[in-house]
Amino acid sequence: MADRRDFFNVRHPFFLPVGRRLAVVVVTGGWAMLELASGNAGWAMIFGAAAAWCGYEFFVVFDPENYKEKKDD
């Protein structure tokens, strides 16, 4: 069973390619703009915060070693 910390794990090996990381930031940021244009400020803040957090994790503090498979010995 997955640990609840794994639910928001953005340092998963799936996110190692830059295209996937960029797609997540663009989609969440675009969704925030769509919600804001629709007049839903609450959802816009939630998706905007998600985009900002992913952008920070994926591009500002990015270290490829954090995205490697961890082996349990």
**pLDDT tens digits, one per residue of 24-53:** 999 999 999 999 999 999 999 999 999 999
Nearest partner of 38 among 47, 50, 26, judged by Cα:
47
pLDDT in the model for residue 6: 65
Mean pLDDT of the chain: 88
pTM score, two decimals?
0.82
